[in-house]
Amino acid sequence: MVKWIASVALLAGFVYVAIYFGDSDTLVADFEYSPTLDSPDQDQVSAPPGLAAADQVLICRGAIAHVSGAAVEAITGTLTEAGYVVAQYRAEDGALWRRACRFDETRVSLAFVLDEGGVSVWRSPAQDGDITYTLAADSVTVTRLSPGIDPQILTLARGSD
């Protein structure tokens, strides 16, 4: 019988993985991952040119409504000096949730806001679905596409709270 052994360790913000074959003394593969290596300055971001602060907040509220199930009206948000939006809402159990949003030309990325300040790792479309936005003269449409789920589409009036 062939035996494979995997070893996983978390140390100082890095995840180390080693895979061994046979009697555990033959290393087949190893790698390390650090979220901060993928985004060295993840607490400083910038939105695409021309995307107004009010639109960023509105898009973020729509994106968080998609992933949380909270009503857009229950979500508040502000643009931070670091260039991302921090939005918050209360869950049905009374817990306060805070998420951050950053933007590229058509997509929204989400992260959790940390109690000590800053944000967690920016999440990928594989984790939250592919969240995109489009702007029209009087509205913003936020769409979430996830495998196995019907597309979720929210159209929100610009200038509304």
**Per residue in 4-54, pLDDT tens?**
555 555 443 444 455 555 555 555 444 444 343 334 345 567 778 789 999
pLDDT tens figures, 49-77: 789 999 999 999 999 999 999 999 999 99
What type of residue is 67?
Answer: V
Lowest mean pLDDT among 44-48, 57-61, 80-84, 136-140: 44-48
pLDDT tens figures, 93-121: 999 999 999 998 899 999 999 988 889 99
How far apart are alpha carbons 71 and 125 in whole angstroms? 21
pLDDT on residue 61? 97
pLDDT on residue 7? 54
Report the predicted TM-score, pTM, of the whole model to 2 decimal places: 0.71
